[in-house]
A and B are shown apart, each in its own frame.
Chain A
Amino acid sequence: MPLNIRTYHELTEPDRSGLPDQIAAQRRRVAARLEGVGRVVAVMSGKGGVGKTFVTAGLARALARGGEGAAGVLDADFNGPTIPALLHVPVTRCMVHDDAIAPAVSPDGVRCFSMALLLQDGRPLAFRGPETESHVWRETLEAATLREFLADVAWGALDRLLVDLPPGIQRFQELVDLLPAPPAVLTVTIPTAESRDAVRRATQFARERGAELLGVVENMVDGPFAGDAGEALAREFTIPLLARVPFNPSPAVWDALAHRVGSSS
Chain B
Amino acid sequence: MKFLCVECDRQMLFEERQLPGDGTLAAAFRCPQCGRAVGLLTNPMETQLVASLGVKIGGTTIDPQPLETVRGMVATGRNDAFAEGTADGGRGTSVAWTVEAQERLARVPNFVRGMVKKIYADYARDRGIAEITPAVMDSARSELGLEGM
Contact = CB atoms under 8 A, between A and B. Distances in A.
A145 B57 CA distance: 20
A94 B81 contact: yes
B4 interface: yes
B59 A22 contact: yes
A120 B49 CA distance: 25
A147 interface: yes
A11 B45 CA distance: 27
- 10 closest A-B pairs by CB: A140-B52, A93-B83, A123-B76, A152-B66, A16-B14, A13-B11, A129-B48, A22-B55, A97-B85, A141-B52
Contact of B58 (A17, A25, A26): A17
B67 A148 contact: yes
B63 interface: yes
Interface in B33-48: 44-45, 48
Interface in A87-104: 91, 93-101
Contacts of B64: 26, 29, 99, 152
A19 B1 contact: yes
B58 A16 contact: yes
B11 A23 contact: no
Interface residues of B, number: 51
Nearest to B63: A99
A76 to B, nearest CB: 13
B81 A93 contact: yes
B59 A96 contact: no
A196 B127 CA distance: 61
B9 interface: yes
A81 to B, nearest CB: 12
Interface core residue of B52, B57, B89 (most chain A CB under 10 Å): B52
Contacts of A22: 54-56, 59-60
Given A5-B4, A99-B63, A127-B74, A144 B82 contact: no
Contacts of B82: 93-96, 101
B70 interface: yes
Nearest to B45: A130
A16 B12 CA distance: 10
Nearest to B48: A129
B69 A145 contact: yes
Contacts of B148: 128
Interface in B15-43: 23
B76 A99 contact: no
B70 A148 contact: yes
Interface in A119-159: 119-121, 123-130, 132-133, 136-137, 140-141, 144-145, 147-149, 152
B75 interface: yes
A98 B2 CA distance: 33
Contacts of A127: 73-75
A125 B111 CA distance: 13
Contact of A11 (B2, B52, B60): B2
